[in-house]
């Protein structure tokens, strides 16, 4: 068993899978990149050098401020925190080909992408299988396909070992199975209890502030804050929608028929999607600007100082404000606009 675990944790399986997919390390390319980066650092100012080196490697200067792929907040928090507790490194290069650089400073165990790819489709399947009329087998196949493809993509990009991915899937499966019997009770509490929004927002802030202490800065704490604060905002939006009866009640009991695709329906869906994206994009820009300026002023640092944004007293509060507000915007404001426009 120990030998099997060592093999699953080792980089050799990752490199072998990448070779099957047509990926291999090119020493000449690596040398060229290093030479290019050194030449840029010697010839240009520091900020310009960082920009060009980032362009060469595919890593954007503002990548650390990007949001993450959304998932189940609790599952993602457990996954991110586990990385910084276990401190298992990502597969080394060589022999692995690294296709991403933004999160390379983070630890690897478990794969939060694999956790999200397990949690999202399977919780969606469990939540809808008795609510809508569709073949359960088809839904199961789609969930398995999403989980498999995303998990394999993390090995393909060289970001995780096979063991990282398998543990991510296993942890999520246990959490989903354990929590499933309590979903209805949790939903009822979230919608009807007056303290539910306060509890959701305060817990999401506290777990972000008391995230496991980092031995070096990485995007992990900020990304985790984005996820759990958006979950807190979504919980508040759910409470608002129910308390103020903003969402129409169904006219009949489930299970419901899924409407057939038609040109009018596709146009309506596209309009809702486009309008929602625009609203969220504008809201994110405005809220982030205000939150960053306010938090930096209170912390006594400049909002233009990128290193200052990595401080705990700056990073967590401004990201928490931004993404908790976006949770409300996405789940309460956008639907209200859609209703107003009769979409």
Please list, in sequence order, all residues whose beta carbon lies within 8 angstroms of the beta carbon of residue 37, skipping any fewer than 6 positions away: 49, 53, 56
Residue 69 has pLDDT above 60, yes or no: no
> How far is residue 232's CA from residue 234's CA, in Å, rounded to a whole number?
5
φ and ψ of 132, to 5 deg: -130, 150
Q: Where are the alpha helices (DSSP H) in the chain?
A: 2-9, 12-20, 27-43, 46-57, 73-86, 112-128, 136-156, 162-179, 183-192, 196-209, 220-243, 263-299, 312-328, 334-340
Contact 204, 324 (CB under 8 A): yes
Position 27 in a domain = yes
The angle at the Cα of 317, spanning 298 to 312, to the nearest 5 degrees, equals: 85
When pLDDT is averaged across residues 7-15 and rounded to a whole number, the result is 86
The angle at the Cα of 330, spanning 328 to 336, to the nearest 5 degrees, equals: 90
Q: Which residue shows structure tokens 């949001």?
A: 67
Position 25 in a domain = yes
When pLDDT is averaged across residues 48-58 and rounded to a whole number, the result is 32
Position 15 in a domain = yes
Position 204 in a domain = no
| CA gyration radius, the chain | 22
Range of the domain at 29: 2-57
Report the domain count for the chain.
1
Catalytic sites, residue numbers: 113, 160
Q: Model's pTM, two decimal places?
A: 0.76
Nearest to 91 by CA among 161, 191, 41, 18: 161
Position 273 in a domain = no
CA distances from 341 to 64, 238, 253, 337, 338 (A): 36, 21, 27, 6, 5
> How far is residue 109's CA from residue 164's CA, in Å, rounded to a whole number?
5
For residue 54, name the pLDDT band (cuts at 50, 70, 90): very low
pLDDT per position as a tens digit, 77-130: 888 888 888 888 888 888 888 887 776 677 888 898 999 999 999 999 999 998
Nearest to 210 by CA among 85, 67, 72, 71: 85
Please list, in sequence order, all residues whose beta carbon lies within 8 angstroms of the beta carbon of residue 162, skipping any fewer than 6 positions away: 8, 9, 13, 14, 155
Position 21 in a domain = yes
> How far is residue 108's CA from residue 246's CA, in Å, rounded to a whole number?
42
Q: Which of 66-75, 130-139, 180-189, 215-224 has the lowest mean pLDDT?
A: 66-75
Q: Which two tokens stand for residue 271?
A: 């309009």
Beta pairing partners, 132: 256
Position 103 in a domain = no
> How far is residue 212's CA from residue 80's CA, in Å, rounded to a whole number?
9
Q: pLDDT value at position 96?
A: 87
Contact 101, 215 (CB under 8 A): no
Nearest to 114 by CA among 185, 163, 60: 163
Position 208 in a domain = no
Nearest to 151 by CA among 134, 133, 138, 170: 170
For residue 27, name the pLDDT band (cuts at 50, 70, 90): low
pLDDT per position as a tens digit, 249-267: 777 888 888 888 899 999 9
Residue 30 has pLDDT above 80, yes or no: no
When pLDDT is averaged across residues 175-196 and rounded to a whole number, the result is 90
pLDDT per position as a tens digit, 296-339: 999 999 988 888 888 889 999 999 999 999 999 999 999 999 99
> How far is residue 38's CA from residue 60's CA, in Å, rounded to a whole number?
18
Residue 64 has pLDDT above 70, yes or no: no
């Amino acid at each position: 068993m120990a030998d099997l675990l060592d093999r699953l944790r080792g980089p050799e399986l990752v490199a072998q899978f990448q070779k099957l997919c047509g990926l291999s390390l090119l020493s000449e390319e690596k040398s060229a990149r290093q030479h290019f980066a050194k030449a840029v650092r010697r010839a240009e100012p520091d900020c310009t050098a960082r920009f060009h080196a980032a362009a060469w490697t595919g890593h954007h200067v503002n990548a650390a401020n990007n949001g993450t792929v959304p998932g189940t907040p609790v599952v993602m928090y457990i996954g991110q925190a586990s990385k910084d507790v276990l401190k298992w490194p990502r597969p080394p290069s060589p022999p692995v080909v690294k296709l991403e650089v933004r999160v390379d400073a983070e630890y690897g165990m478990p794969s939060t992408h694999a956790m999200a790819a397990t949690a999202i489709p399977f919780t969606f399947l469990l939540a809808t299988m008795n609510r809508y009329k569709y073949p359960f087998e088809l839904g199961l196949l789609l969930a398995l396909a999403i989980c498999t493809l995303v998990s394999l993509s993390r090995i393909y990009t060289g970001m995780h070992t096979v063991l990282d991915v398998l543990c991510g899937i296993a942890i999520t499966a246990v959490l989903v199975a354990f929590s499933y019997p309590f979903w209805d009770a949790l939903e009822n509490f979230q919608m009807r209890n007056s303290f539910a929004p306060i509890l959701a927002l305060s817990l999401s802030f506290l777990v972000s502030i008391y995230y496991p202490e980092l031995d070096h800065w990485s995007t992990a704490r900020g990304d985790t804050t984005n996820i759990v604060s958006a979950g807190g905002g979504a919980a508040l939006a759910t409470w608002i929608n129910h308390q103020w009866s903003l969402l129409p009640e169904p006219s009949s009991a489930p299970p419901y028929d899924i409407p057939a695709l038609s040109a009018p329906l596709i146009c309506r869906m596209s309009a809702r999607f486009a309008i929602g994206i625009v609203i969220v994009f504008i809201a994110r820009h405005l809220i982030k600007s205000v939150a960053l300026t306010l938090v930096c002023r209170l912390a006594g640092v400049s909002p233009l100082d990128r290193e200052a944004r990595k401080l705990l007293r700056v990073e967590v509060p401004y990201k928490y404000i931004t993404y908790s507000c976006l949770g409300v915007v996405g789940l309460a404001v956008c639907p209200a606009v859609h209703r107003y426009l009769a979409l």
